[in-house]
Amino acid sequence: MPMRTECKHFESRSYTNGDTVRKCNLGLAPDAPWRCPENCEKYERRLVDVAWAHGSLVPPVTPVEPASLDDGTAAAVLDEAAAIINAAVGDVLDDLNDKRKNKKKNRDKKKKKK
């Protein structure tokens, strides 16, 4: 099933460099920007723009599907990327907390000197 551009959870954003993001705001389309799940339980037709005439702001055409969608390698690459990011999150949070603690210690030292 191609991305359902008429779904209220679909979002398309274009950037000045020409890149376009096409996604499900609920994160339920693992093969975005090419496909939505066949029988998505959260699909809701967008009612706000029913019968509106769209101008040039209509989302661009869906990009051509890569063959890796059918053989599962695209999902595997995305899963691996998510695992790398999730593994780094803990280290980043630890670093931020350490910096905050050090900043507070330095502030407390300065107050004591006065």
Question: Cis peptide before 33, with omega less than 30 degrees from 0?
Answer: yes
To which residue do tokens 């993001």 refer? Answer: 21
Domain locations in the chain? 1-65, 68-114
At 22-44, the pLDDT tens digits run 888 998 887 777 788 888 899 98
The confidence band for 114, taking pLDDT boundaries of 50, 70 and 90, is low
Contact indicator for 29, 21 with CB cutoff of 8 Å: no
At 52-109, the pLDDT tens digits run 666 565 566 667 777 777 777 777 888 888 899 998 998 899 899 888 888 777 777 6
Q: What is the pTM of this model?
A: 0.49
pLDDT at residue 53, as a whole number: 62
